[in-house]
Structure 1
Amino acid sequence: MALMGGTSGAARSRNRRGQGELLREEIVTAALRMLDELGDEQLLSLRAVAREVGIAATSVYLHFADRDALVAAALERYHRDMIEAVDTAAAEAGDPVGRLRARVQARGDWIWRHPGLYRVLHEGSVSSESVGQCKQELADRTTAAVREVMEAGLAPEDDPEIVALDLRSAVHGAVSMRLHQPDVVWPPLEAQVERYLKKIVGVR
């Protein structure tokens, strides 16, 4: 599922009966696009989202009780789309180290492509149980990938959960610093990821 959809803005035709879920997805897609542009959920309004979709504001309230509920749904979609992109990248790699490398790189690339949503997620005030579950799911997948590398004898035996946490922290730090210090001449993220794999995971 693509994170961003095309803009609509103009008046839209009414959904036929039974298409309420489709409208909900259109609202979430518009909110994602706007949050990525704004980088702050406090600047988002349900009326603005309604205008973007081309519907009355009351139609948004039929699906979301308030702005926080919509932002939480948008962040859940953001994570679900990220999980899909990361899993796809890992599945295309040919060995345990390649799968771990692809997973970490894809996650860093995804964050880099959606800086506004990254800020909303980590600097905003909205959270939810579903978003927490998505975060844990991503963490568990990275831990499993690190464990696979260790069990294949391609890195020293260690606590895969701790090593995966260190690895995720390093990548998030690298991307966050790029977003907050754009004037610095940064090395390619791919090169940093490779160093993290060697220094943190110990891949041979």
Structure 2
Amino acid sequence: MRTHRRARSPRGAGEILAEEIIEAAGELLVENGDDSAMSIRAVATRVGVTPPSIYLHFADKDALLDAVCARYFERLDDELDAAGADVDDPLERVLRLGLAYVRFALATPALYRVAFRNRAEGSAPSKVDEVLAASAHTRFVGTVAELAEEGLFRPEEVEDVVLELWAAAHGVVSLMMAKGGLDWGDDLERAESVLKAVCLGRALLTRRPGCADLHVARDWLRDLPADIPPTQDNDNSVKGR
């Protein structure tokens, strides 16, 4: 197949071409579900340039993928902004931010998988890392810091709590992508439960450090007033045996 040759770009049009390249590469990723069909040649064909024109902007396929994923996560910042808008309660806001992250990842799984593929040990931070640090990480840190001001966490724990919430969200996303047939509940019900458990469980460990010991925590929970509603039917567990 012959590549359609574009007219010579006017001076200063390099940034426009780079944007077209990133967009075309992202489209190929989404269409094919992974990066196997996203070759430099395929991107060049879609944009209508020759492969050497791609290399003027991106050193190799990995550099192009990094740029695509960084652009992808720039859009996440808009989603998080909308999710946290007009939510005064930081506890409610951190939950909404976490669920917005999960929804965003599930909407475009191919891009999310590529963004979090394994990188060589000792490699320099990627553009994805830079974008997340400047957007999603900043939003979560700010909200968890408000919770620290309320006394749920200590100020020095903020970064730890953010990392744990991110780990929980990423874990849920990865498992939902790999095992979509499991019972994830309606409207991310299971994801919401996990994020609540991480946030409130961490707050418990802060307020009652002794509960870091599993036996102490279990004894303390046993001594709490029973506030668990009764099961619907105690015989349900034996029906059908």
Structure 2 residue identity aligned to 1:133: E
CA positional deviation for 1:180: 0.5
Q: Quote the residue 1:134 is aligned against.
A: 131
Over the matched positions of the two proteins, sequence identity in percent amounts to 35
Structure 1 stretch displaced more, 105-114 or 88-97: 88-97
Residues 64-123 of structure 1, C-alpha deviation per residue, up to 9 Å, x if partnerless?
Answer: 222112111112212222123213322343432232122111111110011001111223
Distance in 2, matches of 1:24 and 1:71, equals 13
Residue segments in structure 1 that go unaligned for 5+ positions in a row? 1-8
The answer on whether the counterparts of 1:99 and 1:145 sit within 8 Å (CA) in structure 2 is: yes
Distance in 1, matches of 2:9 and 2:106, equals 35
Written as runs of structure 1 = structure 2, the 5 A alignment for 1:118-197 is 118-125=112-119, 129=125, 130-137=127-134, 138-152=136-150, 156-158=152-154, 159-188=157-186, 190-197=188-195
The answer on whether the counterparts of 2:74 and 2:131 sit within 8 Å (CA) in structure 1 is: yes
Residues 4-46 of structure 1, C-alpha deviation per residue, up to 9 Å, x if partnerless?
Answer: xxxxx98766543322211110110111122233344354211
Residue-pair matches, total: 194
The answer on whether the counterparts of 1:101 and 1:193 sit within 8 Å (CA) in structure 2 is: no
The answer on whether the counterparts of 1:39 and 1:119 sit within 8 Å (CA) in structure 2 is: no
Question: TM-score, normalization: structure 1?
Answer: 0.79
Structure 2 residue identity aligned to 1:131: V
Change beyond 3 A, Cα 1:115–1:183: same
Change beyond 3 A, Cα 1:194–1:125: closer
**Greater length-normalized contact order (CA 8 Å, ≥ 6 residues apart):** 1
Question: TM-score, normalization: structure 2?
Answer: 0.68
Structure 1 stretch displaced more, 85-94 or 114-123: 85-94
Change beyond 3 A, Cα 1:115–1:10: farther
| 1:123 alignment partner, SS class | coil
Change beyond 3 A, Cα 1:151–1:28: same
Q: Quote the residue 1:52 is aligned against.
A: 46
The answer on whether the counterparts of 2:90 and 2:146 sit within 8 Å (CA) in structure 1 is: yes
Q: Quote the residue 1:96 is aligned against.
A: 90
Distance in 2, matches of 1:99 and 1:123, equals 29
